[in-house]
Structures are given as C-alpha cells and as structure tokens.
Amino acid sequence: MPLTRLIFAWLLAVSSSGVMAREYTYSDAHLHYVDFFQETAGMPELLKAMADNRIEHVMISGIPVAKKWHEDEPKRPRYYAGDDADAYWYSATDVIVAAAVSKLTAEQRQHFHPFLSGFNPNDKNSAMHIQRMLDLYPGLWQGIGEVFTRHDDLTALTSGDTPRANNEAMTRIYHLAAENDLPVLLHSNITSKREKNALYLPEIEEPLRNHPHTRFIWAHAGTSMEIHRHQTRLDFLLPTLTRMLESYPNLYIDLSWSVLTPYLLDEAGKPREAWIKLVERFPERFMLGSDVVGRFDNVGKELRSFDSFLDALPEGVARKVARDNFLAVLCGSKVCPR
C-alpha cells in the first residue's frame, strides 16, 4: 500500500510538473522601438532580449508624438506625464524604425514586423503621408499603429484637437489599410477616468461596423493604467468585449499593459475563470504585447507575466495567444510568417 501511494504521488508530481514546465515562444504584438523623446536603447539590446526570452517575432513601431522639453523646465522630464509641457506629432519616428530594420540581416528581418505610426489622426492629410511611406519603403510596413486617439492625460497634453477613432481623417486611413491589407493597432480608451460606463465605445465601434474589411487590434481592450488608478476595475468590460467579439469578426484584442491585472488575474494572481472562457471561445482573437517604450531589458518579464494565465488555457489555445495569433492577423490575403 505505501508503494502504491508513492507511485501515485510520483505520477501526480510528474503530471503537475508537466503543467508547470510549459514553455512558450512569444510574439510581441506591441513594442515601441523609441520612447517619448524618440530615443532608444538600440537594436542590439532588442535582439539580445528576444534571444534570451524566446521572443520569435516583434511588432516594432515608433511613438507618434514627442514630448516637449519646455523652455521653463530646468530638468528634462522622463515621461510624457512628467510635467505640463505639450507633446507634438512626430512623423520622423517612422524613419527611425525604418532605418533600424533596414540595417538587419535578411534572416533577422523575418522576425520584425514594422508598423507605421508617425501621423496626426486628426489630419486628413495623414492617409497621404502613410501612402508616401509605403512608396518610400516598399514591402517594409506590415501594419498601422499604435494610433493614439483617446489616451488618458496624453490626449490633453498633445497639441491640437482631441483625436477620435471615428473621425474623417481616420476613416481615410481605414480605407487605405484595407486596400493595402494592413491591420490597424488602435489605442482608444473605452471610458474616461471617472465615468463608470462605456462612454467612448461608439468611437471604436463605429469604425468596426463601417469597415468590415479592415482588421482592428484594440490596444489594451480599451483600458489603461490611468483609468484603473481612478476606477480599479471596469465591471462592464467583459460583457462589452464579449458582445463586440460576437458582432465584429474584424476585431482582435491586444492584452498588453493594463489587461493582465485586474482583468485576466484576480487580486491573488489567479486566472479569472470568466476570462479563460472568453479566450477559449475566441481562441484566435487575442494576442500578447509588452508595450515597452525604447528600453528592452523588461520585455521578457512583461511577456512571461502572462504565463500563469496561459497555463490555465488549453495548451493549443495558449500557444496561439502567446505567438501565433499576432502572426495570423498580419496575414490577411498574404502568406503567414512562420
């Protein structure tokens, strides 16, 4: 009898360790090569971070705004929210990304997926800028974004009008994206810091409905850290996402930055059953991102922080979320990268 118990305990331990021993390869679906001052740690550091952390593919974009160091500020701020100085639209961010990727070997380039971001989403000229960049760098760009529309305090700090995901300038960009088979990564907050309802949801739902041939990746599922500081957790987010995923097959969800907690994991760090069921129901519509900005020493840590949630999913679904779904959303009518 003791031997039987010992064998059973051993089998249980092996089984448990098998779950714990799952190792994932990742696609980072949301990475900024530069920070809000258009500075970067550089491609060698990013390549090392990818090699050290089993990150096989990276969406790489710039930052569409630059933070101003105001004449009256004696010290340069470290982040866009560091002081009250403006941020301004900065198109050269795309040139920085293009230059960095162009210096890679042909084999290295296969692992990078550049997205165009350096345009003002309020400017109806922006579609022409995107077309120029497509013409200047043929075959380079694989998506558009991250587009900054409603984005916490950054919206108020950015020079000009408040960008909306459903304005005429963005409508022109969605048409261009569909014509060129490019997905659009869109930051559009679902609500404000104080409203406990989906205040701004129509701003992203209207484009989803009106542009069924455009693939939309909703950054952070419409949430943000700043919203959470004031509201903790949005109770309406899960039912809203469920309805939208049911209604719009062109909608994909980026789980980076502000979604892991307090949504995917509870206060004890345990995966929430309702979110597990949602991802299982739509296994090809979710993807991971680090959302790092210009520094890459934490990119592996950010992606691995999702492992406990991935481990709660069926293994095939987990591997889609960790790696494959981002690659699939790039494809459209093209051959998918491996």
From residue 292, give the alpha-carbon distance in Å to each of 38, 244, 300: 13, 27, 10
Q: What's the pLDDT at 20?
A: 55
Both tokens of 327, joined, read 């690659």
Q: What's the pLDDT at 156?
A: 83
Note down pLDDT in tens along the chain; length 338 residues: 454 454 445 444 444 444 457 999 999 999 999 999 999 999 999 999 999 999 999 999 999 999 999 998 998 988 888 888 899 999 999 999 999 999 999 999 999 999 999 999 999 999 999 999 999 999 999 999 999 999 988 888 888 888 999 999 999 999 999 999 999 999 999 999 889 999 999 999 999 999 999 999 999 999 998 888 888 899 999 999 999 999 999 999 999 989 999 999 999 999 999 999 999 999 999 999 999 999 999 999 999 999 999 999 999 999 999 999 999 999 875 656 66
What torsion, rounded to 10 degrees, do the Cα atoms 326, 331, 336, 338 define?
-20
Q: What's the pLDDT at 16?
A: 47
Q: What's the pLDDT at 86?
A: 92
Q: What's the pLDDT at 83?
A: 87
> What one-character-per-residue DSSP string does 51-85 give?
HHTTEEEEEEE--SEEE---TT-SS--SSTTSSS-
Q: What's the pLDDT at 4?
A: 45
What torsion, rounded to 10 degrees, do the Cα atoms 139, 300, 238, 197 define?
-80
Q: How far apart are the first and last CA of the chain?
A: 51
